[in-house]
Amino acid sequence: MKDYIGVVDSGVGGLDILNYLKADLKHENFIFIADNMHVPYGAKSKEQLEQYGIEIAQYLERNGVKMIIIACNTLSLNAIDKMRESVSIPIYGIARPTVKGFLNHDLKSVLLLATQATINSNRYVEFIKEIDDSIIVYSQAAPKLVDYIESNNLANINDALIEYIDSYASKVEAIILGCTHYPIIKDRIKKLYPNLTLFDSRKQMVQLTNEKLDYHNIRSSNEKQEIIIQATGSIKALREASQLFFDFNGYQTIEGGVNNE
């Protein structure tokens, strides 16, 4: 039987992570779920996120997935416990590995840029303070960024970045890109704020996935990698929003929900 690693996000941010995972793990198959019917996750309540997460986890388990990587900060921080209770396959989230990447650099102040639901969970601040209580952490929700990226409307994105980041720029040494959509526009942020160090989750997620495949002894050796891209909403919208960084060529696509088989 074929086995897959499931990768989950609300939209195109997860495709960015998938790019890195599939390039490193060439003998693994992947099913990617973009729950873009419910995007933005950042504006949803914890209860809603738990419900989406459980449905997706159960769907993936039914469809041959051996491990789930939540490539979404908002879902990881709000729903991972309930998702884990609902299935028997391992599930890993994105926030702790991201924090680990930041903490390796011995910096003393940081801006967490994330969705409102991620900030509401307060988990990033807890993860950082657990390790070093002296680090100053500012948090800023940036809802326009996900909206602009999902609708492939990048014209006003610099204005939004300035709106969200400018007042912190002289107070911090770094920004944690605490939403998987933001690394897609990392170059723009770097250009606007060249003195700030930016932390994303790409490398950490590849490392985590490798570690956990070995830990659970579930590594595959497929000759030809199979990738399925499923959007609960529109595949067309997902393709358009990711056209600058993700190539759908050769991959199976599925459009539709996860709970109406």
Is 157 known to be catalytic? no
List 49, 54, 67, 72, residue binding ligand DGL (CB under 6 A): 72
Is 73 among the residues that bind ligand DGL (CB under 6 A)?
Answer: yes
Q: Is 198 helix (H, G, I), strand (E, B) or coil?
A: strand
Is 231 among the residues that bind ligand DGL (CB under 6 A)?
Answer: no
Is 74 among the residues that bind ligand DGL (CB under 6 A)?
Answer: yes
Tell me how far, at minimum, the Cβ of 12 lies from ligand DGL, in Å: 8
Q: Which residues of 179-194 are buried (b: 16+ CB within 10 A; e: fewer)?
A: bbbbbbbeeebeeebe
Instruction: Tell me what percent of the chain is helix, strand and coil, each rounded to the nearest 5.
Output: 45, 20, 35
Is 142 among the residues that bind ligand DGL (CB under 6 A)?
Answer: no
Q: Centre a 10 Å sphere on the Cβ of residue 160 and count the other Cβ atoms it contains.
A: 16
Is 115 among the residues that bind ligand DGL (CB under 6 A)?
Answer: yes
**Phi, psi of 89, deg, nearest 5:** -95, 155
For ligand DGL, which is the closer residue by CB, 37 or 218?
A: 37
Tell me how far, at minimum, the Cβ of 223 lies from ligand DGL, in Å: 32
Q: Is the C-alpha dihedral spanning 143, 149, 155, 158 positive or negative?
A: positive
Is 149 among the residues that bind ligand DGL (CB under 6 A)?
Answer: no
Is 32 among the residues that bind ligand DGL (CB under 6 A)?
Answer: no
Q: Which of 75, 149, 179, 205 is catalytic?
A: 179
For ligand DGL, which is the closer residue by CB, 125 or 218?
A: 125
Is 204 among the residues that bind ligand DGL (CB under 6 A)?
Answer: no
For residues 160 to 189, the per-residue mask of contacts with ligand DGL, x marking binding by CB under 6 A and - elsewhere, is -------------------xxx--------
* R_g (Cα) of the chain, nearest Å: 17
Stretch that binds ligand DGL, among 7-15, 25-33, 129-137, 190-198 (CB under 6 A): 7-15
Which residues lie below 8 Å from residue 172, measured CB to CB, with a gap of 6+? 109, 110, 111, 136, 138, 196
DSSP state of 229: E
**Phi, psi of 228, deg, nearest 5:** -115, 130
Count residues binding ligand DGL (CB under 6 A). Answer: 17
For ligand DGL, which is the closer residue by CB, 215 or 245?
A: 245
Is 9 among the residues that bind ligand DGL (CB under 6 A)?
Answer: yes
Here the tokens at position 244 are 């600058």
Is 151 known to be catalytic? no
Cβ distance 260 to 62 under 8 Å? no
Tell me how far, at minimum, the Cβ of 64 lies from ligand DGL, in Å: 25
Which helix (H) or strand (E) covers residue 9, if one does?
strand 4-9
Give me the active site residues, please: 72, 179
Q: Write out the residues near ligand DGL by the rule CB under 6 A.
A: 9-11, 13, 39-42, 72-74, 115, 118, 146, 179-181
